[in-house]
Amino acid sequence: MGGTVVRSAIFSVATAVLFGGPPAWAAEPVGVVTILEGDALAIRGLSKLALAEGVRIAGDDLVETGKGTFLRIEFTDGAVVDLGPGTRAQLNRPSLKRVDRPALYLLSGWLKLSAGKLAATKGSFASPQFDALGAVGEVVARVEDSSSKVFAEDGPLQILNRRAGAKAPITIKSGDFISLNKDDALKVEVRPTHEFIAALPRQFEDPLPARLAQFRAREVPARPAGTFTYAEVEVWLDAEPTIRRRFVREWVAKANDEAFRQKLDAGLARHPEWERILYPERFEPKPPPPVASVPAPAAGGSVPVNPSVPSATPAKGAEEAGAPGH
């Protein structure tokens, strides 16, 4: 037990130095769950929480919805985000940016952003394949491994195709529909496809009234749901670097869990930033090589001859053999 505590303390110091302290918005409530039909979990730091209507959402919460689930979050900046079934997202205010990217991140599944009530800013969100920027109305997106879809339902927005290495976003108008395939091709159409409409969560089509005011004075605590396993967060640990790096700081104590540690080690090629935690000795500075000592001069001022070093003066026979003839 003592070794675990000591190791955890060392990890904490190391990650604080290497990756900095927690972000300022990490524990800040940014929204409220106002509608929940089905089951949804959130991972906040080292805690796994069961969500319910009235639960406050903190910045950077990782949320996962179950099959058939509909989840609505109303944010303090006026935006509304709906998540469909089988969805994973990192929740933040849609008006918040981190460096040069939106802080709201859709890893997979369905998301609808209603940005019309944002006071002074526009709504944005990111994903593995694209960033949706500057939304002023409603946007619906579906992110899958093989392809992504974006529907500018109400109002224009910009799309940056990140996998294709695009340096600047393209602007699409209200009503446009974008498909981004696994080959990085981007296709713009004037209306959504029949397949997209057929798969659209039913609640995304209904105009739902705002409910945030009902929960302003009634906070519902999230129910603890045990500890999360490696399998439950593997997709986040293997996400793109800008997303996954913070988990080294937040989940460093999981390296003390032997089963979790073994999985981390086995997948180290997919999340190499954990190598400093799992193998800190590899990053310790190496001591400088020893400096060879110079022998002290012998009596009379002469330096002892090192028999392993050839003499600079040739032997007499060699000198005669090398002399030019007459």
pLDDT score at 120: 65
pLDDT score at 304: 57
CA angle 184, 188, 193 (to 5 degrees): 100
Q: Per-10-residue mean pLDDT for the chain, 326 residues long?
A: 41 45 56 97 97 96 97 92 98 89 96 83 91 94 93 94 83 94 83 95 91 88 95 97 94 97 97 96 87 70 54 49 46
- Give the start-to-end residue ranges of the domains of the chain: 25-215
130-135 and 123-126 beta bridge pairing: antiparallel
Contact at 8 Å (CB) between 196 and 149?
A: yes
Q: Kindly report the pTM of this predicted structure.
A: 0.80
Cα 249 off chain centre by: 12
Residue 188's Cβ-count burial label (10 Å; 0-12, 13-18, 19+) is: middle
Scan for tokens 């070093």, then name that residue.
309
d(CA 182, CA 166): 15
d(CA 201, CA 37): 12
End-to-end CA distance of the chain: 90
Q: Which CATH number fits domain 25-215: 2.60.120.1440, 1.10.357.10, 3.40.50.2300, 2.130.10.10?
A: 2.60.120.1440
Contact at 8 Å (CB) between 181 and 147?
A: yes
pLDDT score at 73: 97
